[in-house]
Copies of this chain bind each other. A is one copy, B any other.
Amino acid sequence: MDTNTDSKAQPKSSIKAVTVFCGSSSGRHPEYLESAKRLGAILASRNIHLVYGGGAIGLMGEIAKSTIENGGQVLGIIPEAMKNVEGSGRESIPGVSEIVVKSMHERKQLLNHHCSAFIAMPGGYGTFDELFEVITWAQLNIHRKPIALLNTRGYFDHLVAMVDNSVTEGFVRPEGRNLLIVERDPEQLLAKMEGYEVPRTAQYG
């Protein structure tokens, strides 16, 4: 597959591996699953490895399956205790490499260690938790990796409004707002992430 319309060779991405945070449910609109499927295909076509929480269901399962089906590489990082919850029956997705970890904390550490960028797709509290943690780490200069929101159906509009309000009210610095790359289209999202310079920010809030 070719993702670049005016070049003949597939551009090699500056991003080697991306950690995707997303729901273990599928959402109420087919657009969510389609978006996960499409992002998986794009990652595979650019030879960007997918790193994720390791589930076989919902958006998590869909993006992993799509990446594999399109010839890409997937690493799932799943805590022992959750193997039977998120996987429900725990059919591993064929082709997915797995690391089983002892705790949620170890999972978060490895999800950070094994990637060069983060993408959040729609998800629940767990997704918001993972997302705000890596934003906080960026703010503390623990990592300099781009953080992007795949804004399918405007799912993250309220989150962006919340962060904008935090800036207005004086709890997040304006450069902290710039830590977030937000796009509805996965191609455009990745294009913005390539070579993105993460702004340095002082700790605040």
Contacts and interface: CB of A to CB of B under 8 A. Distances in A.
B132 A205 contact: no
Point out which of A25, A125, A128, A133 has the most chain B C-beta atoms below 10 A from its C-beta: A125
Given A27-B170, A171-B127, A176-B124, A155 B165 contact: yes
A204 B170 contact: no
A112 B34 CA distance: 38
A26 interface: yes
A129 B132 contact: yes
Given A132-B132, A158-B162, A127 B169 contact: no
Nearest to A29: B169
Nearest to A31: B169
A134 to B, nearest CB: 9
Contacts of A133: 129, 133
8 shortest A-B CB distances, which residue pairs?
A124-B205, A158-B162, A28-B170, A129-B132, A124-B171, A124-B172, A128-B132, A23-B205
7 contacts: A28-B168, A32-B169, A85-B203, A124-B172, A125-B139, A127-B205, A129-B133
